[in-house]
Amino acid sequence: MRMDDMAASGPQKTITARKAGLVSCGGCGTLAPLGQHRCDRCEATLHSRRPDAEQRVWAWLVAGIILYIPANLYPMLVTRTFGQVQEGTIIGGAIELIEYGAWFVAFVVIFASVVIPVAKFVAIAALILGVRNGSRLSAHRRMQLYEVTEFIGRWSMIDVFVVAILTALVQLGFIASINPGPAAVCFALSVVFTMLSAQSFDPRLIWDSIEEHRARGRT
């Protein structure tokens, strides 16, 4: 059968490794019989689906969302110029950039620190809810959503590195000095937890759930 025919005939005629009694190694992709514990080739522990995906995704996601709140309320940067202390939050820093006229950089900061994290929370929640309850989005859309979420999440770390380099650089004593505020740690942890949440999700669940819904519809 040609690939075009495959796509046209739809996924109902497909067979997964799990249905064929196989498990593909999460480390190296080698196939092994279901029930085998360790991969022969790369010695990774074998799981047909990532274990406890739903619980892990929710746990990391909730932790990430909770930390995102103080990350926005507390200052990210504490700037001292000629004895004056100024505290800047994530949003405040971006507004300051706009005032400088650095529109593009302000856009990068807002995109990396606000749009990506918030979109990621929503995307991960939608993906994991979709597995259980079905989704209005097609499997392909959800797959794309997952891939984009996984790829782009780490770029939120930009703001943490901005704080790191500003702190290292701007230490001119009385004239100007910059130090990190409490939000930096909260934000970094929020990004890390959200990355772990996305990594705990198993995209195979999207396709499994479609098969299950289809099977249920038939009986």
Report the site for another protein in 195-214 (rule: CB under 8 A): 195, 199, 203-204, 206-208
Site for another protein in 11-40 (CB under 8 A): 11, 13-22, 24, 26-33, 40
CB distance 101 to 213 below 8 Å: no
36: its two tokens? 């085998």
Site track 48-87 with another protein (rule: CB under 8 A), x = hit: x---------------------------------------
Round to whole Å and give the CA distance between 184 and 158.
Answer: 11
Q: Which is nearer to another protein, 65 or 153 (CB)?
A: 153
Strands 77-81 and 176-180: antiparallel
Closest CB 147 distance from another protein, rounded Å: 8
Q: Rounded to the nearest 5 degrees, what angle is found at the Cα of 97, between the Cα atoms of 94 and 100?
A: 160
Site for another protein in 114-153 (CB under 8 A): 139-140, 143, 150
As beta bridge partners, residue 78 has 87, 179
Closest CB 64 distance from another protein, rounded Å: 15
Beta strands in 72-140 (DSSP E): 77-81, 84-88
Q: How far apart are the first and last CA of the chain?
A: 28
CB distance 130 to 209 below 8 Å: yes
Q: Which stretch binds another protein (CB under 8 A): 2-10, 53-61, 67-75, 120-128?
A: 2-10
Q: Which is nearer to another protein, 30 or 89 (CB)?
A: 30
Residue count, binding to another protein (CB under 8 A): 79
154 lies in the binding site for another protein (CB under 8 A): yes
C-alpha of 163 from chain center: 21
Site for another protein in 162-201 (CB under 8 A): 162-173, 175-176, 179-180, 182, 184-185, 188, 192, 195, 199
Closest CB 152 distance from another protein, rounded Å: 11
Please, what is the angle between helix 158-169 and helix 103-110, to 10°? 120
